[in-house]
Amino acid sequence: MLRIYSLLLLLFVSHIFCGSAGVKNGTISGSVREGIGKPLGGVTVFAVFQGEPQIIRQAISDQAGNYVLNNLRVGKYALGFQKYGYETISAEESNNTTGGTKLGPTNLKAYVESGGHFVMGPVSLKSLGAFGTTRYSIRIVDSLTGETVPQATVTIGTNQAYLTSDGTYAVDVPTEPGEAQKPLIVSVLAPGFKETQAQLLPAPGGVLEQVLQMEPELAEIEGFINLGGLPSANLFSQATILVDGLPKESLNVKTDDSGYFRVTVPASTPDRVRSFHVNIFMRGFFPIRIPNIIAPIAGATTISYTPSLTPQTVSVIGQVSTALGGTGRPSASNQAVILELGVVAPIQAGTFVFPSVPVEFPLTVKVFLINEQAELGSAETQFTAAINGTGSFSLPTLITQP
């Protein structure tokens, strides 16, 4: 009796561990490609037995994209495929995500027969795009002066960049698969500048160099210019005011004919004093330069002195005759006057000379001459003196009328 029980137990154990008599394990093989192109190595292939007890086998595809799953018991299997940087074909019919491998039913199935070899057709995995570390190298400059902005705080995504020896801000930021087309927010803060933000796409495995401009906070410089007592409508509004290192269009220049001017410049900060050189150009005057004017932290600063514009001048020569063609009788009343300047020159033998007349300004000369009948005649003309290389400027002959 004991021998019968032992024989039955042996048969039961043999059934558990070896399956049915004569049943042999089998194999599944196949290949993996990247899209429809080259073979893809390093793919983890899962075979999940669709029965009880659950059995999981796995293999890694070789450089040729081939894999072999050995020692599989007879039955139906679900296959899954996974590699970092590629969309996962999970062992779950309705949830093929990039997450971990799922165990369960799948659309890719194989049936292993006793001692059989099941060949799975080629499987394609879709790349999620480039991934890896991007080295961001950011240079921060003043949008008006082009100077490097000091003391900036640069944040890329959630990563704060550090200042390098060449004045750029750098940080290494990892890019996960599928995120190469997702821009990161770059935020820049610096004293004396408005906050700047930009969006930058990563360059996985490479260096992304970028120049970002920051708009400075603004202040004003104002002052007065002595015009040398030259009266003329719209005189100072003709002036050109420039500031070294700043574009003309950023200055927002304001002037009036009293000689007042105002320009807009980047403001100083408590830790950084910014100074500027102001240059004033005006037709008919020698240019002047007002150096090292310190910009205020806010509001306006007034230049403490009043520079003078020095006019460029020439000698103006004119001829006068009476209606009869003569030069008139000698008299102290024979005079020429430049009305706008109030300067007077005597007329002698029909000629007058003004030794120093500003150029480039519309002026009026009026002459008075005693004629042959002892009558006082006059004439006037408008002119604008110019530098012509001779050192003098000649007026047309003026003919007086009583």
Where residue 167 falls (left for φ over 0; alpha for ψ -120 to 50; beta otherwise) is left
Phi then psi for residue 160, to 5 deg, are: -90, 130
> From CA 145, how far away is CA 266, in angstroms rounded?
9
| Superfamily designation of domain 218-311 | Carboxypeptidase-like, regulatory domain (2.60.40.1120)
- For residue 395, the Cα-to-chain-centroid distance in whole angstroms is 56
What is the pLDDT at residue 38? 92
Instruction: Give the residue range(s) of CATH 2.60.40.10 domains in the chain.
Output: 2-125
> From CA 263, how far away is CA 147, in angstroms rounded?
20
Residue 355 CA: distances (Å) to CA of 146, 176, 300, 313, 318: 48, 82, 42, 8, 11
Residue 74 per-residue DSSP state: S
CATH code, residues 313-399: 2.60.40.1120
Residue 323 CA: distances (Å) to CA of 359, 369, 372: 30, 11, 10
What is the pLDDT at residue 99? 43
Map tokens 């999620």 to a residue.
128
Nearest to 85 by CA among 176, 6, 217: 176
Instruction: Give the residue range(s) of CATH 2.60.40.1120 domains in the chain.
Output: 132-214, 218-311, 313-399
> From CA 299, how far away is CA 371, in angstroms rounded?
64
CATH code, residues 2-125: 2.60.40.10
> From CA 59, how far away is CA 46, in angstroms rounded?
7
> From CA 289, how far away is CA 212, in angstroms rounded?
32
CB of 138 closer than 8 Å to CB of 170: yes
CATH class of the domain defined by 132-214: mainly beta
Map tokens 């980047």 to a residue.
266
CB of 314 closer than 8 Å to CB of 393: yes
Nearest to 144 by CA among 269, 303, 264: 264
For the segment 183-235, what is each residue's pLDDT rounded down to a tens digit?
999 999 999 999 999 999 999 999 999 999 999 999 999 999 987 766 554 56
What is the pLDDT at residue 94? 45
CA angle (19, 20, 24) in 5-degree steps: 70
What is the pLDDT at residue 108? 87
β 335-338/343-346 pair status: antiparallel
CB of 334 closer than 8 Å to CB of 368: yes
What is the pLDDT at residue 145? 94
Residue 8 per-residue DSSP state: H
Q: How many residues does the chain have?
A: 402
CB of 80 closer than 8 Å to CB of 88: yes
CA angle (388, 393, 394) in 5-degree steps: 130
Q: Specify burial of residue 3 (Cβ count, 10 A radius: 0-12, 13-18, 19+).
A: exposed
Given a cut of 50, the residues of the chain with pLDDT beneath it are 1-2, 4-19, 94-105, 233
Rg (CA), the chain: 47
What is the pLDDT at residue 106? 56
